[in-house]
Structure 1
Amino acid sequence: MSDGTAVRLEPHEIALLGEGPRAAVTVAVVDLYLRGLVEADRPGTIRKGIADVMSAERPPSPLAQAVHTSLREPAGPRTLVKDPDIRIALALMRIPLAGAGLLRYPLLGPTRAARRQVRELRQSHPLPTNRHGLTDDERLLAVALHGEPALRLLVPRFALRAGLVRRAEVGGKSLLKNSPRGRGGSGGGTTTAVEVAAGADAEAAEADPMRDMREGRPVPTDGPPLCSFVLPRVRPSAS
């Protein structure tokens, strides 16, 4: 058995060692999004995208393929982590990592060598200062190493709509009117004022009923009408 040194890790493996299964699934979802294979659906869920053909030259990881296959209907991150096929893909991921000395038996938690390797990767690959000029591989690595801050920086609109990041809350109540719908939406958490503003701006930019109609998406009927007219009151003339 190896001592876990000098092992080349893929982004989804780094996420699994650093933060656990949900982080690995998040990286897989972002990988699919960058390839155009998934897109955000109703708040807190994702669905298969229009580009539904995987590249044979650069195929996604087996975990990402399992996520894509499981999207028979829109689903949120919590549901994806519980999907049987995705759990099998996660279990198969652990086998070579355990063989490399990065996961310990029998609980398959990260070993000291794994934690050291992830820590060194974070130090050598700090969070980017902006999203411009990065390759898709660099984006995935940043998400694997830095989690939510990288999601908010690199794919902010998709991450918010897909339920990959927490929605802004103030005083325990959601600032945004629409809570995640569909299967397995994301949970909430208290964020800073900057994140509150960013989340509200992204949500406002996405909430476009006319665009949903043009793209054939269902328009919610529980809100105000798209158009409303107020007729002026006409007073009778004095005779």
Structure 2
Amino acid sequence: MPLGMWWFIGICAVWLVAAALLLRSREPAPGDTPDAQTVALLRGGPEAAVTVALVALQQHGVVTDGRPGTVRTNGWATAIREPLQLAVHTTLRRPAAPRTLTTVPRVRRALAALHDRCARSGLLRTPFRWRTARTLLYAVPVTIAVGYVAAPVTAAQVAASAVPVAAAAVLWFVPRRTRAGRRLLATLYETHPLEDHRTVGPRVVMSVALHGDRALALHLPHFARGSGLLRAGRKDRGFPIDERASGGGFGTFGGADT
């Protein structure tokens, strides 16, 4: 029986083992409940984290809705210490549509730092391990296809080659969020259900982090609609982002794969 195709199948097995090891996540050490920006990043990715940062700034009274579909500053953020909130506030020298904020270098760097903290805590897989694993998984069907072209193939080899391809497909759908991250969100959903009445303060920020648009519409209907935070009413209006406020350069970050 020709052995050529078996070599390609064996190489795919190596890719799969390496990808599986890269996708393993360690159990995080017990710690305090993450802040609202971290929770939002876990639930909905970078855009959700920026939305929560805007809500926190609005609760502090330092941002408000501007021209339709935009957000603008409404005071000095002297008491703000959270890096993502500071980056967002600094960016809003001129009114901007909320969805454009994730493209600003200063905000992207703050998001990257937030993602790194989540990865170190074992709540998200690190960008390097995630991208490397997915590259290896992508290589599996490519390697099998090359084997079909380069070597004689028997019926048994065709059947065997389907196994690594199927395994790669399963691993491809492993979420960016780790098991610990999913458990944390499940616990927070139980302890912070969506309230049935409007409130203010830190509870609003965590509610938006967990429940997204439903919490925005409940607690901050005017601000959410006027600023374009609600998905149903978003508009890309406003002045271009002031790049002088962004610090230049382009950071990289990865959003949570929900």
Same fold by TM (over 0.5)?
yes
Structure 1 residue 99 displacement after superposition: 1.1
Contact 1:74/1:182 (<8 A) preserved:
yes
How high is the sequence identity, in percent, across the aligned residues? 41
Contact 1:152/1:165 (<8 A) preserved:
yes
Q: Say yes or no: does 1:141 pair with 2:206.
A: yes
Letter in 2 for 1:82: T
Structure 1 residue 2 displacement after superposition: 5.3
Cα distance in structure 1, aligned partners of 2:44 and 2:236: 23
2:195 maps to: 128
1:224 maps to: none
Cα distance in structure 2, aligned partners of 1:73 and 1:10: 27
Letter in 2 for 1:26: T
Across the aligned residues of Structure 1 and Structure 2, the Cα RMSD in angstroms comes to: 2.1
Larger Rg: 1 or 2? 2
Q: Say yes or no: does 1:107 pair with 2:130.
A: yes
1:63-117, Cα deviation, whole Å (9 max, x unpaired): 0000001112111111101111000000011222111111113338211210121
> What stretches of structure 1 of length at least 5 have no aligned partner?
169-173, 185-239
Contact 1:32/1:60 (<8 A) preserved:
no
Higher helix fraction (1 or 2): 2
| Larger RCO (CA within 8 A; separation ≥ 6) | 2
Compute the TM-score of the two structures, normalised by the length of structure 1: 0.65
Higher strand fraction (1 or 2): 1
Aligned length: 169
Contact 2:65/2:72 (<8 A) preserved:
yes
Change (3 A) 1:150 1:60: farther
Structure 1 residue 39 displacement after superposition: 0.9
1:23-75, Cα deviation, whole Å (9 max, x unpaired): 000000001111111111111110111x22422xxx34110000001112111
Cα distance in structure 2, aligned partners of 1:145 and 1:5: 22
In the TM superposition, structure 1's runs of 4+ consecutive aligned residues that sit over 6 Å from their partners are: none
1:144-173, Cα deviation, whole Å (9 max, x unpaired): 0000000000111000011100336xxxxx
Equivalent residues in 2 for 1:1-239 (5 A)?
3-4=27-28, 6-7=30-31, 8-49=33-74, 51-55=75-79, 59-105=80-126, 106-107=129-130, 109-132=176-199, 134=200, 136-167=201-232, 181-182=237-238
